[in-house]
Amino acid sequence: AQKVTQAQTEISVVEKEDVTLDCVYETRDTTYYLFWYKQPPSGELVFLIRRNSFDEQNEISGRYSWNFQKSTSSFNFTITASQVVDSAVYFCALSERVVTSGTYKYIFGTGTRLKVLA
């Protein structure tokens, strides 16, 4: 079963539009972390944000904002006034404990390709 679901495979918007990328996760852990990464056309993933399961405060960083809601197991990402440079694949990820081994693992969603048109 997919533990991190990014239902939107591809989104196209016109520059200056706002866009929200959805992420729904599934975990039984009470302590976990959620992440967003950006993969521009060059291919190298770039870390955007980390959230731990005890901090539901929304965060804003410039044109980027994140909405974490434990009640709906969602961690959505909004880009305000999108720009062409925002065109990339965006991945949501979950870090949770592996019960059997006590170690941890990252689970990435399948990504959402965002195309911002000029």
Partner 1 sequence: EAGVTQSPTHLIKTRGQQATLRCSPISGHTSVYWYQQALGLGLQFLLWYDEGEERNRGNFPPRFSGRQFPNYSSELNVNALELEDSALYLCASSFSGLAGGTGNEQFFGPGTRLTVL
Q: Contact positions toward partner 1, by CB under 8 A?
A: 32-33, 35, 37, 42-47, 50, 52, 91, 93, 95-98, 101, 103-111
Neighbours of 43 (CB within 10 A): 7
User: Which C-beta is closer to partner 1: that of 25 or that of 37?
Assistant: 37
Supply φ then ψ for residue 43, to 5 degrees.
Answer: 105, -20
User: Which C-beta is closer to partner 1: that of 15 or that of 49?
Assistant: 49
Query: Is 7 strand, coil or helix?
Result: coil
Q: How far is the CB of 108 from partner 1 (least distance, A)?
A: 4
